[in-house]
């Protein structure tokens, strides 16, 4: 299919790797050596040499076929947003446009337990129509499911990767403004689902009064540092744009409500609002 500008089709594998097939306009196609062309990944706001990654582009067949670059799951990519560029001989790098994405393997992805880090990369189109990647680099990682709001609180489950839950495990809600102590709630494990990794917890919203935003963490216990609760093991790069949860009052008749939401990093948080004052 003819394209007016360079575009990259992205295919994800279950391990977290990405393959880029770059399609060029006919008038820009020419024979290339094995190191002549590259796909560049540049981390937004980055200034270190490691914030630019060069992926060689090679031919996938006959002249006119796409050029292919691979980002293996074994290559760490720092957390953040990465711009994609096409670098051809004799020219300046230029932004790539998004093509067709096949991200089915990212849905309900299950990381392997023998890893020492978890890399998640999701391609997306920017507001200006360019191709970028959203990358996460975490370990341990606590993946959450949809919260269920009822009776002035929320209940949700999840799974911990890269660590084990102990009997001392707990949910920790920290006020983002740092103006008060954290709220702690118990965590229940489910032996049928993997007792040392699968968990359920409930956060009582009445305990969140007094602070506008709370960040949620899972503390596994056993000397393991708290792990940010997040939802990144799928194909949605910006949850806050597409996932909405209803507000729930802090108590019966209360004008103050709590609303769970995802941050720009797809971390789970809770916003507390006084509906009477709008604050």
pLDDT in tens, 86-96: 998 888 999 99
Work out the average pLDDT over 8-26.
Answer: 92
The pLDDT value given to residue 30:
59
The pLDDT value given to residue 90:
82
Confidence of residue 27 (pLDDT cuts 50, 70, 90): very low
The pLDDT value given to residue 1:
56
Strands 18-23 and 153-161: unpaired
Work out the average pLDDT over 124-133.
Answer: 97
What mean pLDDT value characterizes the chain?
92
**Nearest Cα to 123, choosing from 29, 215, 11, 21?**
11
Report the alpha-carbon distance of residue 39 to residue 23 in Å, rounded. 12
Q: What is the pLDDT of residues 141-185, one digit of tens each?
A: 999 999 999 999 999 999 999 999 999 999 999 999 998 999 999
Residue indicated by tokens 């209803």: 246
Q: What is the pLDDT of residues 241-260, one digit of tens each?
A: 999 999 999 999 999 999 99
Tell me: pLDDT of 62 over 90: no
The pLDDT value given to residue 32:
57
Measured on CA atoms in the order 30, 33, 36, 41, is the torsion positive or negative?
Answer: positive
Report the alpha-carbon distance of residue 121 to residue 103 in Å, rounded. 10
3-state secondary structure the chain: CCCCCCEEEEEECCCCCEEEEEECCHHHCCCCCCCCCEEEEEECCCCCHHHEEEEECEECCCCCCCEEEEECCCCCCCCEEEEEEEECCCCCCEECEEEEEECHHHCCCCCCCCCCCEEEEEEEECCCCCEEEEEEEECCEEEECCCEEECCEEEEEEEEECCCCCCCCEEEEEECCCCCCCEEEEEEECHHHHCCCEEEEEEEHHHHCCCCEEEEEEECECCECCEEEECCCCCCCCHHHCCCCCCEECCCCCCEEEEEEECCCCEEEEEEEECCCCC
Work out the average pLDDT over 228-240.
Answer: 97
The pLDDT value given to residue 202:
99
The pLDDT value given to residue 29:
56
The pLDDT value given to residue 25:
80
Indicate the burial class of 34 (C-beta count within 10 angstroms; 0-12, 13-18, 19 or more).
exposed
Work out the average pLDDT over 116-124.
Answer: 94
The pLDDT value given to residue 5:
87
The pLDDT value given to residue 258:
98
Tell me: pLDDT of 270 over 50: yes
Confidence of residue 60 (pLDDT cuts 50, 70, 90): confident
Work out the average pLDDT over 93-103.
Answer: 96
Structural domains of the chain ordered from first start: 7-138 (2.60.40), 141-274 (2.60.40)
């Amino acid at each position: 299919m003819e394209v007016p500008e360079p575009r990259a089709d992205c295919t994800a594998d279950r391990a977290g790797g990405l393959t880029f097939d770059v399609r060029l306009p006919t008038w820009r196609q020419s024979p290339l050596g094995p190191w002549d062309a590259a796909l560049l990944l540049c981390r937004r706001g980055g200034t270190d040499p490691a914030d630019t990654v060069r992926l060689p582009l090679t031919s996938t067949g006959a002249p006119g076929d796409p050029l292919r670059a691979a980002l293996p799951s074994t290559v760490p990519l720092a957390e953040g947003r990465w711009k994609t560029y096409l670098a051809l001989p004799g020219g300046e790098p230029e932004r790539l446009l998004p093509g067709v994405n096949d991200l089915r393997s990212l849905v309900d992805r299950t990381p392997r337990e023998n890893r020492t880090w978890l890399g998640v990369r999701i391609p997306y189109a920017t507001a200006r129509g360019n191709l970028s990647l959203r990358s996460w680099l975490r370990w341990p990682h606590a993946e959450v499911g949809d919260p269920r709001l009822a009776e002035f609180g929320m209940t949700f489950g999840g799974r911990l990767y890269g660590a084990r839950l102990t009997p001392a495990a707990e949910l920790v809600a920290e006020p983002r403004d740092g103006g008060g102590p954290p709220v702690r709630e118990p965590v229940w494990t489910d032996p049928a689902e993997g007792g040392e990794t699968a968990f359920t917890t409930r956060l009582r919203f009445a305990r969140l009064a007094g602070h506008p935003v709370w960040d949620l963490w899972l503390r596994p216990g056993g000397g393991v540092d708290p792990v940010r609760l997040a939802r990144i093991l799928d194909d949605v790069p910006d949850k806050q744009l597409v996932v909405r949860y209803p507000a729930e009052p802090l108590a019966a008749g209360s004008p103050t409500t709590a609303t769970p939401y995802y941050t720009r990093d797809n971390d789970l948080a809770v916003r507390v609002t006084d509906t009477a004052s709008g604050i």
